[in-house]
Structure 1
Amino acid sequence: MMSKSTPSPQKIFLWNILGSLSTAAISVLLLLVVSRTLSDFEADIFSIAYAIGNLLNIVGSFQVRNFQATDIKGKYQFYDYLMARIWTCALMMAATFIYIYWQQYDSYKSFVILLISLYRMTDAFSDVFQGLFQQKERLDIAGKSLCYRNILLFLVFSCALFMTKNLLVSLFLLCLVSICFIFVYDISYTKQFLEISLKSRDRRIVLLLLKENLPLFINAFLLVYIYNQPKYSLDGLLEAGVVEQGIQKDFNILFMPVFVMNLMMFFLRPMLTKLAIHREKKDIEGYQSLKRNIFLILFLFTGLVFLGSYFLGIPVLSILYSTPLHQYKESFLILMLGGILSSFATVFDNLLTVLRKQKVLVVSFASSFLVSLFLSDHLVRSYSVFGAALSFLVSMSVWLIISIIIYQLVKDKEF
């Protein structure tokens, strides 16, 4: 029987950081291995398939994690969260098949998308256990799960790809190992806190949970679609033969630091749970102090990231991926600026979730989505990668501005 003793706050913080870093790094490293091992044609397919997998992952997770972690009163039991996740993961895979059929991709591209979607589905399923660990203020366990699993998956995928030079075989092994890890690690540690049961209960409770989180799901789906819209536009041009092979890979390489930067929220997750606790206890001083610290950390982090990107970004990425990217420096800096704006918008949105005002977030996400939908194809067709970067920056600006306006309107109701 594993010990239930709680480690020090420093150890919990350290493991949360390591888990967050590994999550930020895994997609970067997988693309790095693919781009260095396979052709531009296969790297392009992997890039767009991963973007599609990220979008479908939102269906699998249904964006319940923040709600689960801040469910301090225990409105729903873990069983409800688990059953909801099983349903949404099944829906995710169904959506994958529908998407592949709708797009009429060739068999190779279809199988790559299917396997990457399956891998991202395991991420979504593992997340429900990590949500429990966070709710119990044991982010060290969640961090270890992410860290160990991502390291293992990277090693398995890399070795398989180097040995076989076969992307499909490597992705199949990636999925298999990921599924096994959930049973060996996540489920085992969950039994420290409760017994896992799939006994029959009132399904209306699970439906109520999903209904309550529906606005968060819609918001997240729209956001990831906005993030990926330029990639979809580039994919359409690639399928039509308008642009050369490798441009999808190049854009994904440029976009990687943007995505990694936005994962700053992994570091702030413990603070969000504590915000909910302060609010529940009516601790106004503690709540306001913690909120100020969140923005201070974000200001410092994003400032350092942008400076590093300006001086080191393109040279490091070019060497790391063995791909010349110097012609994209302006596009890269525009993408990084958009990523900074999205990080601040994400914080405002999470504050509104703590206040249980997530329904109103649909306004900001829908506005940004519509801007991206109308701008992206035109800008990408006219200016290629630079146009894709501009589309992203404008969309993120709209998202942040409207999020701030909404927060200002409801913040007086924090207590």
Structure 2
Amino acid sequence: MERKNVVWNMIGSLIYAGSSMVLTALVNHMAGTDQGGIFGFAFSTFGQQMFLVAYFGMRPLQSTDISRAYTFGEYRQARYITCQAAVLMGIAYILWNTFIPAAGYTGEKALVVFLMVLYKVLDGFADVYESEFQRNGRLYLTGQAMTFRTLLSVCCFLAALAITKDLVFSSVAAVLSQGAGILLFDKRTAKQVPGIERLKRAGKAQELLQDGFLLFLSVFLDGLIFAMAKYAVDAQMTSTDNAIFVAIFMPTSVINLAANFVIRPFLTKLSYLWEEKSYGDFMKEVGKLTGIILLLTVIALAGAWVLGVPVLGAISDVELKPYKSGLLAIVLGGGFFAVMNLFYYVLVIMKRQKRIFFGYVPVCILSFFLSFWFVKAGGINGGAFSYMLSMLLLMLCFMGQAVFVLGKEKKGIR
């Protein structure tokens, strides 16, 4: 079972992370870099931000809720609420950017962004099923569901784009197929898993949202920090520049994918070690995972140095030679982000969500100024370096928090 969990988690994570790179690159080839820039921002930047609203930071809570404080029915009821909030926030953002002359979203861009919000919100809803599979020790079902619904929606989107060359119509096809994938591969599978409790107790969904609110704010700020340079490029540069920036951002998906291969299968084990107060074994596992992520980052840097510019340029149909230093900065920043993500999970397991939130706030504020200043001064390369610095600060902040909490726990101080 453990081998099955690891293999399917790897497959699902690979296809899920790879879909972002494939879609953006193929839109560049099939519809041009201007359309690719619009789609890249809608799919991987703002759409992803609305995914985080729908997601509400619940996977770490749900997948590690081994004491069953909340039922699946209560997690799903809470997710209905967060998904509705994400759609409303998306509409408000699009209206703001459509009717403010300085932003000037065209009708096509507004529609594409809205449809990608719907697509990503459905993705966030699917996660409530896939987190429950993981909580029940069936991570392989999470991987399978993620694999099949992603393949279905990606293939439908690309087929529609190849036939019609219409980005709006193709986005509609993606949304409809995403909904079909949830029904086929998540909801139907959940009926076959024993132990999934659909009971909904009065007030528990609201209690769950309250318990997870600081974690949600933390995840939301995390998404803002991660994408702040993209927002700065979108606000101050062209759609073609957006396409270039998305292209040099691609390696971060690979690094995060590899990090998830390493981290996710160990979350339940780390939860038990912490509850059993096996602090030595707990930190040994965390140290091992950190070392693996850093090694993967070094390998990614070497690959980016030798092959990054020609390969990513060919994949995305853009010229990247002037942006090699920015590419390397983003790869290194992606490694910092992956390590930070590990320590984020560590702090969740330690039940220190407040420390996570108060780590994000100052870094988010700083990243806003860094991103807009660096992009204004250095364009795409400037945005890349602002991303790397933001990720370094966040990583150091979370590592320091985790070490501090561990020291207090060892001394018996709460």
* Bucket of the pairwise TM-score, normalised by the shorter protein: over 0.9
Q: Alpha-carbon deviation of 1:92? A: 0.6
Q: Distance in 1 between matches of 2:130 and 2:200?
A: 23
Q: Alpha-carbon deviation of 1:12? A: 1.7
**Superposition pairs for residues 111-130 of structure 1, below 5 Å?**
111-130=111-130
> Do the aligned partners of 2:153 and 2:181 also contact (CA within 8 Å) in 1?
no
Match of 1:3 in 2: none
From the superposition, tell whether residues 38 and 414 of structure 1 become closer, same or farther in structure 2 (CA, over 3 Å): farther
Q: Alpha-carbon deviation of 1:278? A: 2.3
> Do the aligned partners of 1:364 and 1:398 also contact (CA within 8 Å) in 2?
no
Match of 1:213 in 2: 212
Which of 26, 31, 35 aligns to 1:33? It is 26
**Superposition pairs for residues 173-252 of structure 1, below 5 Å?**
173-193=173-193, 201-202=201-202, 204-238=203-237, 244-252=238-246
Match of 2:370 in 1: 375
> Do the aligned partners of 1:122 and 1:178 also contact (CA within 8 Å) in 2?
yes
Residue 343 of structure 2 is aligned to residue 344 of structure 1: no
Match of 2:394 in 1: 399
**Superposition pairs for residues 66-81 of structure 1, below 5 Å?**
66-81=60-75
Runs of 4+ residues over 6 Å off in structure 1 = 195-200
Give the partner amino acid of 2:28.
S
Residue 257 of structure 2 is aligned to residue 272 of structure 1: no
Which of 395, 399, 410 aligns to 2:405? It is 410
Q: Alpha-carbon deviation of 1:284? A: 4.5
Identity %: 30
Q: Choose 285-294 or 16-25, whichever is displaced more.
A: 285-294
> Do the aligned partners of 2:5 and 2:265 also contact (CA within 8 Å) in 1?
no
Q: Distance in 2 between matches of 1:310 and 1:358?
A: 37
Q: Distance in 2 between matches of 1:42 and 1:281?
A: 53
**Structure 2, unaligned runs of 5 or more:** 99-104
Residue 43 of structure 2 is aligned to residue 44 of structure 1: no
Q: Distance in 2 between matches of 1:196 and 1:276?
A: 20
Match of 1:155 in 2: 155
> Do the aligned partners of 2:375 and 2:382 also contact (CA within 8 Å) in 1?
yes
Q: Alpha-carbon deviation of 1:193? A: 2.9
Q: Distance in 2 between matches of 1:279 and 1:44?
A: 44
Match of 1:86 in 2: 80
Give the partner amino acid of 1:21.
L
Q: Alpha-carbon deviation of 1:277? A: 2.0
**Structure 1, unaligned runs of 5 or more:** 1-7, 239-243
Number of matched pairs: 402
Q: Distance in 1 between matches of 2:81 and 2:225?
A: 25
Q: Distance in 1 between matches of 2:303 and 2:89?
A: 39
Q: Alpha-carbon deviation of 1:263? A: 3.3
> Do the aligned partners of 1:15 and 1:143 also contact (CA within 8 Å) in 2?
yes
Structure 1 vs Structure 2 CA RMSD: 1.8
CA offsets per residue over residues 181-223 of structure 1, 9 Å max, x none? 1111211111123588877631x21111111111211111111
> Do the aligned partners of 1:279 and 1:414 also contact (CA within 8 Å) in 2?
no
Q: Distance in 1 between matches of 2:333 and 2:200?
A: 46
Q: Distance in 1 between matches of 2:121 and 2:303?
A: 33
